[in-house]
Chain A
Amino acid sequence: NAGVTQTPKFRVLKTGQSMTLLCAQDMNHEYMYWYRQDPGMGLRLIHYSVGEGTTAKGEVPDGYNVSRLKKQNFLLGLESAAPSQTSVYFCASVPGHGKNTEAFFGQGTRLTVV
């Protein structure tokens, strides 16, 4: 059972470059999330999705875009990376539809923007 898989695990970007982080889950979960983790700030919600084809903004959405074209995948895009986006990014999924009793997390993507 793979669970939640994030790709890539590490990446270094130059300011202004773009990239896409991929999150894939094989548990048929409805809800998916992208968080960023920064020292002293915990996990902050960037964007989330309650189903295929739907997305919503979280606490810190600026500078990011997302897409959920397939139920099992949730993509996080940075169109023009900035040093402030240096962080560890976590994807999570939840069964959804009233079964919000546990979030399953990926192992994280460590992104450095120079």
Chain B
Amino acid sequence: AQSVTQLGSHVSVSEGALVLLRCNYSSSVPPYLFWYVQYPNQGLQLLLKYTTGATLVKGINGFEAEFKKSETSFHLTKPSAHMSDAAEYFCAVSDPPPRSSASKIIFGSGTRLSIRP
């Protein structure tokens, strides 16, 4: 069964500092992996995704993540935090088609990112 673990429900960094949000997954096959961002009182929007190919993926707003199969991880990073990055971030997993479980998307519990001036 798929599952996602996000370490740290709240991360606080200074403006300009490195952002690192951790995500580990459990899946019986190499999964599809996603990071979503949620700003207050809004729905979720896609930051980046890994399906196949290059294991280092770049997303919007300067974020990137690396798929490490040996560590079952998909950590999200940004070299320099900006005040506008303050939001909640969710890691998600789904099995790739044509598996019957491919239609399920499972989310982690989320990490709230705060940026200190």
CB interface residues, B 1-16, toward A, < 8 Å: 6, 9
CB interface residues, A 51-98, toward B, < 8 Å: 56, 58-59, 90, 92, 94, 96-98
- Contact check: which of B43, B103, B106, B110 meets A50 at CB < 8 Å? B103
Query: By the criterion CB–CB under 8 Å, are B106 and A45 in contact?
Result: yes
How many Å from the CB of A7 to the closest CB on chain B? 14
Query: By the criterion CB–CB under 8 Å, are B103 and A100 in contact?
Result: yes
Q: Which residues of B are interface residues toward A (Cβ below 8 A)?
A: 6, 9, 32, 34, 36, 41-46, 49, 51, 90, 92, 94, 96-98, 102-110
Interface centre among A42, A50, A98, A105 (most CB of B within 10 A): A42
Bound-state CA distance A98–B100 (Å) is 11
Number of A residues near B (Cβ < 8 Å) is 29
Query: For the complex, is A103 an interface residue (Cβ under 8 Å from B)?
Result: yes
Bound-state CA distance A31–B103 (Å) is 7
Query: By the criterion CB–CB under 8 Å, are A45 and B104 in contact?
Result: yes
Interface centre among B34, B46, B49, B103 (most CB of A within 10 A): B103
Bound-state CA distance A41–B90 (Å) is 11
